[in-house]
A and B are shown apart, each in its own frame.
Chain A
């Protein structure tokens, strides 16, 4: 079945460091891929998405590229801020638009 695997956290970085959170997926067909973010005490927010191979999603300085050949959708940011501290979820949708999430990666950014 469809699944999403992302790196376990927590990931602890200093402010202005480079961020990579790895995400790989298994799927039949061609899913859409998403990154959602959950700030402390808040609900899930869509961060970015990509709907086909080689698409790059971007938002708030974060980027992820849909790599069909490696079945990956890694999240990157060039310079993290303390306010980026949150839990990040990679997800995919199948033909029925049902989201399958990874387990989440907690990011902690220290000043």
Chain B
């Protein structure tokens, strides 16, 4: 069974530029999550989708971050404009259902200069 796919794996941008990350969850997984992991810290949830609806986005900085999962399968996370403090690894995870174990992708490492 294929795991959670993410791209790109690495991205370097200048501050104030925009960037987008893509995630394809495990086939059949209804719930999708985006996490931000700053170096030396544990991951922090940004947003959770159930199919194509948002369940929780309370920790998403909505002035600059946006995410969508239009067809209930893959998802895109965007940052516009990026700040230096956005440098982190962005992890996507999926679970079969709302209360099931989450499986993580390899992450996208973002460096904002």
Contacts and interface: CB of A to CB of B under 8 A. Distances in A.
Interface string A72-111: 0000000000000000010101001111111110000000
B21 interface: no
Interface in B1-52: 4, 31, 33, 35, 40-45, 48
Given A97-B31, A97-B95, A97-B99, A44 B43 contact: yes
A46 B103 contact: yes
Contacts of B107: 43
Contacts of B42: 4, 89, 91, 101-104
30 contacts: A4-B42, A34-B101, A42-B106, A43-B4, A43-B91, A43-B104, A43-B105, A43-B106, A44-B93, A45-B104, A46-B101, A89-B43, A91-B42, A96-B48, A96-B56, A97-B48, A97-B95, A97-B102, A98-B45, A98-B48, A98-B56, A99-B33, A99-B45, A99-B102, A101-B43, A101-B44, A102-B42, A103-B40, A104-B40, A104-B41
Interface of B: 4, 31, 33, 35, 40-45, 48, 55-56, 91, 93, 95, 98-107
